[in-house]
Amino acid sequence: MTNVTNAFSATGKRKNAIARVILRPGKGERVVNGLPIREYLKSETLARNSEQPFHLLQAGSSYDVVAKVLGGGLSGQSDAIRLGISRALAQISEDFRKQLRKTGLLTRDSRVVERKKYGQSGARKRFQFSKR
């Protein structure tokens, strides 16, 4: 989805988190929900994880990222941002798309929490069984 300002937008999802990402040519600023990415995600590991597509393509400082994230926890949000960034970068160049596809960054991780069933204490765990 390209418009006149050379911005590329994409959506990333993981668990219950949804990230809408806008990628623009710029100086490498990363903003998530109005805060710098490292301040929002609180963990250096999560911030690095969400910037993985840039490190792979060596294109980190040439694009600004603005992301709006809803739902889930910080880990799911980090992965949702990563998928959104990857999808936006794939719109820019076919070479980017091939590299991202090869490393698995364009594939959505569809695992979600399994629901709790009735008559059990969790999704799989049962209540203790007593024969007598």
Confidence at residue 2, expressed as pLDDT on a 0 to 100 scale: 47
Q: In the chain, how many domains are there?
A: 1
Strands 30-32 and 63-70: parallel
* 28-34 contacts, C-beta under 8 A, 24 or more apart: 28/60, 28/61, 28/62, 28/63, 28/64, 29/64, 29/65, 30/64, 30/65, 30/67, 31/64, 31/65, 31/66, 31/67, 32/67, 32/68, 32/69, 32/77, 32/81, 33/67, 33/68, 33/69
Residue 109 lies in a domain: no
Residue 20 reports pLDDT greater than 50: yes
Say if residues 101 and 53 touch (Cβ distance below 8 Å).
Answer: no
Residue 76 lies in a domain: yes
Confidence at residue 70, expressed as pLDDT on a 0 to 100 scale: 97
Residue 41 lies in a domain: yes
Residue 33 lies in a domain: yes
Residue 66 lies in a domain: yes
Residue 121 lies in a domain: no
Domain CATH for 45: 3.30.230.10
pLDDT in tens, 68-81: 999 999 999 999 99
Residue 45 lies in a domain: yes
Residue 115 lies in a domain: no
Say if residues 94 and 85 touch (Cβ distance below 8 Å).
Answer: no
pLDDT in tens, 102-114: 999 999 999 999 9
**14: domain range?**
8-102
pLDDT in tens, 23-35: 999 999 999 999 9
Task: For residue 4, name the pLDDT band (cuts at 50, 70, 90).
Answer: low
